[in-house]
Structure 1
Amino acid sequence: PAHPLYDPAYLEEDFEGYRVYRSTSGLPGSFELLASWDKSSATPRHVRIQQVAGSPFQGTVTYDEFWTENWFLAVYGTELFTGQEYLVQLKADGSFFVSNLTLGTDVPASEVQEHWYEVGEPPYVFEMFSWDFNPYFEDSLPTSRSTTERIADGTYDDYFDDCWLMVGGMAINFKGDDPSYVPAEDIIFKITGYLEEPEGDNTALGYAYVDTGLINGMTYWYDVTAYDFQPFSSPHSLENGIRGIAVTPRSHATGIVEGSAYEIQHTSASGFLSDGTVIITVVEPLVLTGHNYNVVFEGDYWHLIDVTDNDTVLKNQTNISGDDNYPVVDGMVVKVMGPPIAFNDDLTELSSEGLSWLFNEAYMGGRNAVNNGNYRNFLLKFVAGPGDTTAEGLYQDDQGNTPMGIFLADPTLASVPFELWDLGMILDDPADDVRLWPLMYDFYDATFHTDNYFLILDKNNQGNTYAEDFFSNPDHDPASAYWGFDTGDPFSRYDWDYRFAFSETDPVWEKGDSVLMITNKPNTSDDVFAFKTNKPYISTDLVNLDDIRVVPNPYIVRNNWEPSRDYSRLAFTRLPDKCTIRIYTMAGDLIRTLRHDSAEFDGNENWDLMNKNNQKIAAGIYIYHVESDYGEIIGKFAVIR
């Protein structure tokens, strides 16, 4: 980041893939493709807006990617985005007229409120939105102007400051520099949607390539290029140029024990282990410290502690996705992973085929569950069937009891056919099981329906266990912001941890049915992942001087690894880290002495085939003698000219 060419926005730039090239000469045109990886674009949809007629719009016209991606397409589906081209005419009378240039048709204004949600496309329409409390979805969201009243008075397709025009799955925002601005003449925009075109098979990215069939001591040139589909350029596929970086593979010193990280141990002060994991990849073995480390957690962050030096080497890390955006520290990549705050769908069980999920999720993205540390398991147990009711229509279990729940209609008490239990962290331990009040959205009346939204509350808050009076908690007062949700206080619904609903098309349940809900267990401050590292070192037990080789042997005229005809080279490989190499003629004359001393456990020593008088050696057979602290060995090689 301190480099003057560093781009702080590089992580935000989209790219599609990598290609790996290799050359044996480094010359232009000599690089061969070794591997290619590609992925679906992180932003597979692009929009271009151009004003093509009329006086300049006095403000901004922008594509609202956030609401397009995170609301309209997230709720309906990405097929709503057509990738087509439109002409949008903002008329002097303040209304819009839209044409689809791709299909050659006019696009009328929607006469159905939330057409994108209720109908989808086709038929193709455009729809105007304002920012307001959306009564259709009961939240603060873009709000459709295609209401009965606006359609009747003809204002449903009118321009107003800071409006959104939704067409072809694109939310286009019009905002004047002056809120009172109204164009005095017709203005026409061309709006083009582009869908990402894959450059490969979308096989996902690879982050490492292992080349094989190489010769130790020979120099190769490699390059990694990035490419992307760019909708607004020609050609659409852009790739950076090839330059090449010289790489010379070399053998390790004999007897080396490579550095590693090992013995990852997961412990928890509470005795309940999270579902998190830690994976360590050694990427720079020579940089490993040989120290012990702990991964610890604090709120939304994790830290990497060097226990040996009592030093924090990574602080306030938030990435727990398991992707490849983790830093390299002390020669290793420490990937800390943790599950999202949610139900574990692989472990959650529905006992009846008559029930299926409409959804099951952590409320507000798990924000409250995090606050409450509520990662326990839950059981919904149907103690009455559809017909097990009293004369008053109240559900009744086998003991004649009437299970009750809290409905949001008043709020008020109403009969339900089930019991909701917090099973704690250990499923087979009834000692920590607590029955909860079920809290339900009411879409019809104060009567149980399977597609009501069922809310699971935190057992540690007053009034939430079934043994307590729910309304004994002052915050549960019907007049409090707890019910209406205070947008200024995101934790006003502080104990609504999880919610779920069953599909309204599958309303069948029977007495004895149950739903076991297992939640993900995220990493908490109780969790610690400890591991050890060792630095690379030479083990005398593993040193084997018989592994020493001379390559190539025989040496013929010159090697294809040599950069020019004026340069000759052969290599002694798999040497000890420190040794002396003496080269003799068959007559016993010493012609060259080489000192090999590598602090990086390099087992190669190159020789330029020059004698101690800086003269080229003659063809023939030569003797070499390697002397080291581990012993000595004699061998021979041939030079053919």
Structure 2
Amino acid sequence: VIALDQKIVFDWGFDIAAAMATETSSIKGYDFQGYNVYQLPSASAQIEQAKRLATFDVNDAVGNVEDKFFDASTGVVATKVVQFGTNSGIKRSITVTKDAIKGGAPLVNGIKYYFAVTSYNYNPSPTAVPNNVENPIKIFTVIPQSPDPGITYSYSPEDTIKTIHTTGTSDGSSFALVIDPTKVNGHNYEVTFNADGSWNLDDKTTSTTKLANKTNLSGDGNYDFTDGLQVKVLGPPLLGKSWSYVSASPANLSPVATAADPSYTGGRWLTGGNHGGELFFGGIFMEPNFWGGTTVTPDKYTKVEIRFRPMASFTDLNGNGSYNIGEPYTVDDPTKTQKAFMYSGFSGSSYLGFFDIPFTAWDVNDPANPRQLNVALRDRDKNHQWDLHFAASPADPLLPNGGDQRFNYTFILISTYDASGTMYGDGSGGTINLWGGPNGDQIDVQWTMWVNDRGNGGMLAEESIFTLIPNFVNTQADVFGFTANANTNSSAQAVLDVEKINVFPNPYYGVNTEELNKFQRFVTFNHLPANAKIRIFNLAGIMVKTIDKVGGSQFQRWDLQNENGLPVASGVYIAYIDMPDLGTTKILKLAVIQEEQILDRF
């Protein structure tokens, strides 16, 4: 619990082992579901008197928990909401600035407030009675207060400290959320990454690792706390991020396209076909999302350009006067194309050969130095060319495979283009086994295309560039750094802070809301330094009380009694506060109006 200026921070994640034990608890079908934060009217209050401030629950399908109860007014068993979950996700801290007991009034420094944090578990079984269990409340008494004299906090709770991406090119990010400003230490920190994508937080000032092998990249509230900070690391999933299609300028249209459709003036001619890929209307996959495996590690994926050439002519196999997918074709400039390793299936024995395709593929991570890439095709119909996914209906016996050109996949590899055609097949058989690796693919596939005709000019209707951009995940090359500025403790500031010293309640009107009974009367001085001497005088100049404050908190009570232990009379008093460590003094006026009392104890 952190008491600050008109606010209180509750941090139940500082002991991560205890938090994890709570959040992984499962007892006889009752699994952890969330936390509740309550404010109570007193230190002895029961939970029925509490005001619920917040619920942080697991983000799942549970949400509100309803349970049965006996309604004494009707004599029947009814149902009501007993846990108010919102699928918010788990958080382990909260900042409180309002007094819920008093209708949302601001918290007042020097006043006691009472809070509790509980956890609850839930059993989804319809026969579980009750279906939820909540641990008993443990009440915390907290007094909000401004910083001690001379101390200036660098941050407020929930302030954000930005990080700098010092090395690496990932799309990831990181920041630090201030939980406890009193613990921020001025150290330099770095976020680094392991080969498996997990991350560490290193304190560079002390050469220690504060957090190790953390895997949360979601940005939610479920991150560990250290040094008063909650460092959050975010990273994109291993998915395609975006694509673009750019027509050549000036336009270079296929004569086949313009003959078939004189109104065609250019534009995208291929589409995704809704095949389940993460990009391009379901037609583009990063390879792990297609078969589920590749030899390419997450840090190696590249931005790829596919540079298409327009169709120049075709062989009209069925004599219908227009191009049908699967018919042989040529492109306008074969010198600007490449060959691909073609397989009819997914094993080396299905290797067909090294044949022309109507495009080139390039790694353009470094645009100034593009690198041409190998391409492999699944040529299911064995016509030795690149085709779109298409099925003639009805089947056309004059076309290859009866016009069934479905499932012709294009694999963009990460290896540099081998114009000799021997890297993945040497004429006697292929070396690719798409299903032979421990996780699926045995080759270095980074992108898979499964694309269809868009119905806009036809296949290869124009010269164009189709660009695929991956999410660049966090890798061992990436480092994020930041400095958590230290709090300051200045003697000069402490002298200035003398102006903040006060006494409350002032005037004292017969009672203090903090008093427990008529024998406990007091006012409180606040914002005092560690050592001070308080002398109380009446208006006649007679000293009625001396209070020596030695160490401890910034607060000091006066019990409204004189040196003889008797209640002081109503009137105006002068408090002369001497602060020898600071070499300064402070004078306050205090009005005391005592209530009429008949003492029954002496």
Question: For residues 264 and 530 of structure 1, what CA distance do their matches in structure 2 show?
Answer: 5
| Equivalent in the alignment of 2:363 | 422
SS in structure 2 of the partner of residue 430 of structure 1: coil
**RMSD (Å) for aligned C-alpha atoms:** 3.9
Asked whether 1:355 is paired with 2:266, we answer no
Matches within 5 A, 1:415-564: 415-424=356-365, 426=366, 429-431=367-369, 433-446=370-383, 447=385, 448-450=387-389, 452-459=408-415, 465-472=416-423, 478=429, 480=431, 482-486=432-436, 489-490=438-439, 493-502=442-451, 510-539=461-490, 540-541=492-493, 543-564=496-517
Kept in 2: contact 1:23–1:221 (CA 8 A): yes
Displacement after TM superposition at 1:368 (Å): 4.4
Amino acid at match of 1:214: L
SS in structure 1 of the partner of residue 182 of structure 2: helix
Query: Which string of whole-angstrom CA distances, capped at 9 and with x for unpartnered residues, describes residues 221-241 of structure 1?
Result: 212334465321235455444
| Equivalent in the alignment of 2:114 | 221
1:522 to 1:442, Cα distance in 2 relative to 1, 3 A: same
Kept in 2: contact 1:395–1:417 (CA 8 A): no
Question: For residues 88 and 19 of structure 2, what CA distance do their matches in structure 1 show?
Answer: 29
| Equivalent in the alignment of 1:111 | none
Kept in 2: contact 1:620–1:640 (CA 8 A): yes
Q: 1:258 aligns with which of 128, 142, 153?
A: 153
Question: For residues 360 and 575 of structure 1, what CA distance do their matches in structure 2 show?
Answer: 67
Displacement after TM superposition at 1:327 (Å): 2.0
Range moving further from structure 2, 471-480 or 533-542: 471-480
| Equivalent in the alignment of 2:185 | 289
Matches within 5 A, 1:24-39: 24-26=41-43, 27-28=45-46, 29-38=48-57
| Equivalent in the alignment of 1:321 | 218
Kept in 1: contact 2:90–2:222 (CA 8 A): no
Matches within 5 A, 1:240-255: 240-255=135-150
Kept in 1: contact 2:283–2:451 (CA 8 A): yes
SS in structure 1 of the partner of residue 592 of structure 2: strand
Amino acid at match of 2:388: H
1:220 to 1:441, Cα distance in 2 relative to 1, 3 A: farther
Query: Which string of whole-angstrom CA distances, capped at 9 and with x for unpartnered residues, describes residues 88-134 of structure 1?
Result: xxxxxxxxxxxxxxxxxxxxxxxxxxxxxxxxxxxxxxxxxxxxxxx
Query: Which string of whole-angstrom CA distances, capped at 9 and with x for unpartnered residues, describes residues 580-614 of structure 1?
Result: 4333333331502242535xxx5433444344444
SS in structure 2 of the partner of residue 546 of structure 1: helix
| Equivalent in the alignment of 2:351 | 411
Kept in 1: contact 2:271–2:283 (CA 8 A): no
1:603 to 1:252, Cα distance in 2 relative to 1, 3 A: farther
Unaligned runs of 5+ in 1: 45-196, 460-464
Displacement after TM superposition at 1:420 (Å): 2.0
1:495 to 1:623, Cα distance in 2 relative to 1, 3 A: same
| Equivalent in the alignment of 1:311 | 208
Kept in 2: contact 1:372–1:495 (CA 8 A): no
Q: 2:534 aligns with which of 581, 592, 614?
A: 581
Query: Which string of whole-angstrom CA distances, capped at 9 and with x for unpartnered residues, describes residues 265-293 of structure 1?
Result: 2211xxx5322212112223333332222
Kept in 1: contact 2:434–2:440 (CA 8 A): no
1:552 to 1:476, Cα distance in 2 relative to 1, 3 A: farther
Question: For residues 324 and 367 of structure 1, what CA distance do their matches in structure 2 show?
Answer: 31
SS in structure 1 of the partner of residue 24 of structure 2: helix
Amino acid at match of 2:549: R
| Equivalent in the alignment of 1:591 | 545
1:231 to 1:438, Cα distance in 2 relative to 1, 3 A: same
Query: Which string of whole-angstrom CA distances, capped at 9 and with x for unpartnered residues, describes residues 521-547 of structure 1?
Result: 222222222222233223435833222
Kept in 1: contact 2:351–2:425 (CA 8 A): no
Q: 2:23 aligns with which of 1, 4, 10?
A: 10
SS in structure 2 of the partner of residue 396 of structure 1: strand
Amino acid at match of 1:499: T
Q: 2:584 aligns with which of 631, 634, 638?
A: 631
Amino acid at match of 1:355: T
Query: Which string of whole-angstrom CA distances, capped at 9 and with x for unpartnered residues, describes residues 392-414 of structure 1?
Result: 94443322445433333133344
Matches within 5 A, 1:160-199: none
Amino acid at match of 1:285: P
1:367 to 1:245, Cα distance in 2 relative to 1, 3 A: farther
SS in structure 2 of the partner of residue 216 of structure 1: coil
Amino acid at match of 1:586: L
Query: Which string of whole-angstrom CA distances, capped at 9 and with x for unpartnered residues, describes residues 554-588 of structure 1?
Result: 12222223344433343222334554433333333
SS in structure 2 of the partner of residue 437 of structure 1: strand
Question: For residues 503 and 427 of structure 2, what CA distance do their matches in structure 1 show?
Answer: 83
Question: For residues 597 and 419 of structure 1, what CA distance do their matches in structure 2 show?
Answer: 77
Kept in 1: contact 2:530–2:554 (CA 8 A): yes
Asked whether 1:208 is paired with 2:94, we answer yes
Displacement after TM superposition at 1:22 (Å): 0.9
Question: For residues 148 and 112 of structure 2, what CA distance do their matches in structure 1 show?
Answer: 19
Question: For residues 535 and 10 of structure 1, what CA distance do their matches in structure 2 show?
Answer: 33
Question: For residues 421 and 113 of structure 2, what CA distance do their matches in structure 1 show?
Answer: 74
| Equivalent in the alignment of 1:112 | none
**Which structure has the bigger radius of gyration?**
2
Displacement after TM superposition at 1:377 (Å): 0.8
Question: For residues 203 and 627 of structure 1, what CA distance do their matches in structure 2 show?
Answer: 51
Amino acid at match of 1:252: P
Amino acid at match of 2:551: D
Q: 2:519 aligns with which of 537, 548, 566?
A: 566
Question: For residues 631 and 368 of structure 1, what CA distance do their matches in structure 2 show?
Answer: 73
Question: For residues 165 and 381 of structure 2, what CA distance do their matches in structure 1 show?
Answer: 48
| Aligned-pair identity (%) | 28
SS in structure 1 of the partner of residue 569 of structure 2: coil
| Equivalent in the alignment of 1:383 | 309
Amino acid at match of 2:129: S
Unaligned runs of 5+ in 2: 1-13, 64-81, 99-105, 247-267, 273-280, 318-326, 345-349, 390-406, 595-602
